[in-house]
Structure 1
Amino acid sequence: MLSVATWNINSARLRLPIIEKYLEMQGPDVLCLQEIKCQEHQFPADALAALGYEHQAICGQKGYHGVATVSRVPIREVTRHDWQANGEARHVGVEVVDREVGGKNVRIDNVYVPAGGDEPDREKNPKFGQKLDFLERMTDWAKSLDVPTLIVGDFNIAPLESDVWNHKQLLKVVSHTPVEVETLERFQKAHGWVDIGREHIRDPERYFSWWSYRSKDWRVNDRGRRLDHMWASPEFAARATGHSLLEDARDWEKPSDHIPLVTEFDI
């Protein structure tokens, strides 16, 4: 078995206590973190290694963005892509040593897609255009993949109506606009990605992974969105035996505004 978790942690150093709590509680084999908000030498590598996660691939940046994949099974870093073409740390890809599907080594790609600003207009808001361009570059990459791959992370897009608290109200809000959903659909088709979350938590069932800090009573208001995803190549996805999320983590002390997701594979 191989269990893989993903979590936008919103500062790995600030939220180290809840990372440790999660690892001690659920103990996934691999944890992919986004928005670590630190340079590589500042990442709490020793603390996580002390919990058994000594295999690490860290792509950091001072104060912003950044991704890290930590594992208690051997991994080796294979790629870092700058899909925004501006030097931001938003991707790291690893192979899982001695784990294969169909005779090929499996890989895990950890990505933090840009949020895209507030205005869903490329001309008025350059950040929105950068987000769409990022996704198009991801799509070009996906077309050339020839190994079983799991891509996880904060996609910053909630594609389905049941992925948001109110579809009609959010149609003009960045993360749920038709142009973003269409762009993400092109990425999905480029490699035949299987949306593992929605294989196990079927649409139209409610499925959220993010709640704004602005909502003081997030459980009562429940104005969530599914921004975090785990998608796999068809042959890799066929090995998934379970998928779950930990909503209680949103209530932990000094929480991230995102919660962790985890998928188990028979590999």
Structure 2
Amino acid sequence: MTLSLRVATWNINSVRLRAPLLAGVVEALDPDVLCLQETKTPDEHFPHEAAEALGYAHRVIRGMKGYNGVAVLSRHPLSVLPDGRDWCGKGDCRHLGVAVDRPGGPVEIHNFYVPAGGDVPDPAANPKFAHKLDFLAEVTAWTAARGPARRAVLVGDLNIAPLEHDVWSHKQMRDVVSHTPVEVEAIARWREAGDWHDALRHFVPEEEKLYTWWSYRAKDWRAADRGRRLDHVWVSRDLAPGLARHAILKDARDWAQTSDHVPVLVEVAV
């Protein structure tokens, strides 16, 4: 019997504030592994009780006060991969790599939160944008050194919408951070370095609109629908034939006190 693994990713934008919303994610998507970004809390204040109550007995967290932070919640035993990095020497908790135990062998899961990059797409004028490009260059070199991914899934808020229909207007967004040519080229190099397969576009053709984020600034985000696909799931080429389904929990954007990102899930045979 072929076993599947359901992996979800969500930029929760403060896990302590939005811990009650996790129940809705679990009810709708039923993930085996739930990867969170922008948890914004030091490890000692992570809401373990909420995760435990939802059936996630295995947890790895890497957090800090007020900013960044990533967490992996799992129904299956997992271990931290030994090659964790302090990206750009900033110690800012933007990556967790774990191995999830499955009968067919461990599955690597990498949970990333890429720097947003500020508002000005000029590394000379904007240190935040320079940091984003440095981060992408460093993670690409690391990925290339590891070689093609095998039995692996990479998820997270990568803060780049690379394709024309990953944004509401390609023409108007080309000079906006998250869709500039330099970022699009950088994320393509990263994905190619690990020979990763874009799992969401596996199901949704590139000519169709696909979003996972809608700004808080929109009075009626559904009517405006000015979204971007900032949240991604990539799978290694050996797992790609086993991709079974995906889900984007768009209704989560309507929840009270919710994140501006919505949860994303991919199910894959492992």
TM-based fold match above 0.5: yes
Query: What does residue 124 of structure 2 align with?
Result: 123
2:167 to 164, 167, 181: 164
Query: What does residue 96 of structure 1 align with?
Result: 100
TM-score (norm 2): 0.95
1:2-151 matches, cutoff 5 A: 2-79=5-82, 80-100=84-104, 105-143=106-144, 144-145=146-147, 147-151=150-154
Which deviations, in whole Å up to 9, do the C-alpha atoms of 1:136-187 show, x marking residues without a partner? 1111121114532211000000000100001111111000000000111111
1:186 to 189, 195, 217: 189
Query: What does residue 224 of structure 2 align with?
Result: 221
Answer yes or no: is the 8 Å Cα contact 1:60–1:67 preserved in 2.
Answer: yes
Q: Distance in 2 between matches of 1:8 and 1:68?
A: 10
Q: Distance in 1 between matches of 2:205 and 2:135?
A: 28
1:195 aligns to 2:190 (yes or no): no
Q: Distance in 2 between matches of 1:84 and 1:249?
A: 33
Percent identity for Structure 1 against Structure 2: 52
Q: Distance in 2 between matches of 1:43 and 1:200?
A: 34
Answer yes or no: is the 8 Å Cα contact 2:150–2:238 preserved in 1.
Answer: no
Q: Distance in 1 between matches of 2:75 and 2:107?
A: 16
Answer yes or no: is the 8 Å Cα contact 2:213–2:260 preserved in 1.
Answer: yes
3-state SS in 1 of match to 2:88 = coil
Name the stretch that deviates more: 20-29 or 198-207: 20-29
Which deviations, in whole Å up to 9, do the C-alpha atoms of 1:70-115 show, x marking residues without a partner? 0111111114322232110100011011354xxx532000000000
1:237 Cα deviation from its structure 2 partner: 2.1
Q: Match of 1:20, as an amino acid?
A: A
Q: Match of 2:229, as an amino acid?
A: R
Q: Distance in 1 between matches of 2:252 and 2:99?
A: 28
Q: Match of 1:140, as an amino acid?
A: A
Q: Distance in 2 between matches of 1:60 and 1:99?
A: 30
Q: Distance in 2 between matches of 1:138 and 1:208?
A: 24
Q: Match of 1:155, as an amino acid?
A: L
1:265 to 262, 265, 268: 268
Q: Match of 1:58, as an amino acid?
A: I
1:238 to 213, 238, 241: 241
Answer yes or no: is the 8 Å Cα contact 1:105–1:147 preserved in 2.
Answer: no
3-state SS in 2 of match to 1:18 = helix
3-state SS in 1 of match to 2:7 = strand
Query: Structure 1: which 5+ residue stretches go unaligned?
Result: none
3-state SS in 2 of match to 1:264 = strand
Q: Distance in 1 between matches of 2:231 and 2:29?
A: 18
Q: Distance in 2 between matches of 1:63 and 1:99?
A: 38
Answer yes or no: is the 8 Å Cα contact 2:29–2:265 preserved in 1.
Answer: no
CA RMSD for the aligned pairs? 1.2
**Cα distance change, pair 173–99 in 1 and its aligned pair in 2 (3 A):** farther
Q: Distance in 2 between matches of 1:250 and 1:222?
A: 12
**Cα distance change, pair 99–89 in 1 and its aligned pair in 2 (3 A):** farther
**Paired residue total:** 264
Which deviations, in whole Å up to 9, do the C-alpha atoms of 1:240-260 show, x marking residues without a partner? 111110100000111100001
